[in-house]
Amino acid sequence: MRQKLLPIITALAILSGLPMASAASPEQDLKKFQNYFKKKFPKVKWEEFANGVYAVDPIGRENWEAIEEFPPYEPFIDEGEEMWNKAFANGKHYKDCFPDGPAIAAKYPRWDKAKGMVVTLPLAINNCRKANGEKPLKYKKGKINSLLAYIAFQSRGQKTHVVIPKDDPRALEAYEKGKKFYFTKRGQLNFSCANCHVQNAGNKIRSDILSPALGHTTHWPTYRSKWGTVGTLHRRFTGCNKQVRAKPFKAQGEQYRDLEYFLTYMSNGLPLNGPGARK
């Protein structure tokens, strides 16, 4: 085993050590990334990757299907709808910020040329609130999840299609930063995101099966039994950083927004199916 592994690893190290390695275009990355998972899980149908670990865990899936019969996130959708329809103190509505709303999930995350940054849906929501004199919502727990749940539900069936515009090199830079983040080992335990969700997707860590990275972004916010409520994608990022004993970054800070940009782009073509329910 070791003897067989070593030459391969050495070869890999040499191949990837070349400075060219990072010059792959996002389109090339996307193909490589999606093919990797299709090959790794030949029996999993394409749209199934949107179901996370339940695409590769038949036992957990039964449980999950039972849960989805009476979705635990339903009350949050209802509350979100109320929030969407309620006027701000100035008489305006979310609709004034998002004329195409509420089914706008597939528009995010997106590169905002004027701001020179990746704008995610939660960030856009708070920008809207601030522009209308309302207090911003918290980014990990709480009410923002209800609004996001309503928007996600209304957006079901749209396809992930993140764009990395060619007319602004800073967009590519943000993408590259997010990509680098995903493959960077962190924390005392020295894991990269890819260690768990690429290299070992489908494997068991203790008794948890690790989900493939492909499809990780299709279903937010997600009701987690462990949380007992719905939480945002950046809350999940925080948890995954903490468990490797790395200090997490700020929700909606640059690192996590760039990470979301990369990770969502990698799922381009998958249907949106939020809000989700997970263990």
Binding residues (CB under 8 A) for other proteins: these are: 1-2, 5-6, 9-10, 12-17, 21-22, 24, 29, 32-33, 36, 179-180, 182-192, 194-196, 198-200, 203-207, 241-242, 245-249, 255
Under rule CB under 6 A, residue 196 binds ligand HEC: yes
Contact between 1 and 147 under an 8 Å Cβ cutoff? The reply is: no
Choice between 107 and 197, CB closer to other proteins: 197
CB of 189 to ligand HEC, least distance (A): 7
| Amino acid at position 277, single letter | A
Active site residue 97: no
Residue 223 is inside which H or E element, if any?
Answer: strand 222-224
CA geometry: angle 177, 180, 183, nearest 5 deg:
155
Choice between 236 and 257, CB closer to ligand HEC: 236
Q: In sequence order, what are the residues at sequence separation of 6 or more whose Cβ sits closer than 8 angstroms to the Cβ of residue 162? A: 109, 110, 261, 264, 265, 268
- Cα distances (angstroms) measured from residue 136 to each of 127, 139, 267: 8, 9, 29
First to last CA, the chain: 34
Task: Kindly determine how many residues on this chain lie close enough to bind ligand HEC according to the rule CB under 6 A.
Answer: 24
Closest C-alpha to 120, from 141, 96, 144: 144
State the binding partner of 183 from other proteins, ligand HEC, none, CB within 5 to 8 A by kind: other proteins
Among 126, 236, 270, 277, interactor with ligand HEC by CB under 6 A: 236
Under rule CB under 6 A, residue 140 binds ligand HEC: no
Residues within the interface to ligand HEC (CB under 6 A): 1-2, 52-53, 191, 193, 195-197, 205, 208, 210-211, 216, 222, 236-237, 240-241, 243-244, 259, 276, 278
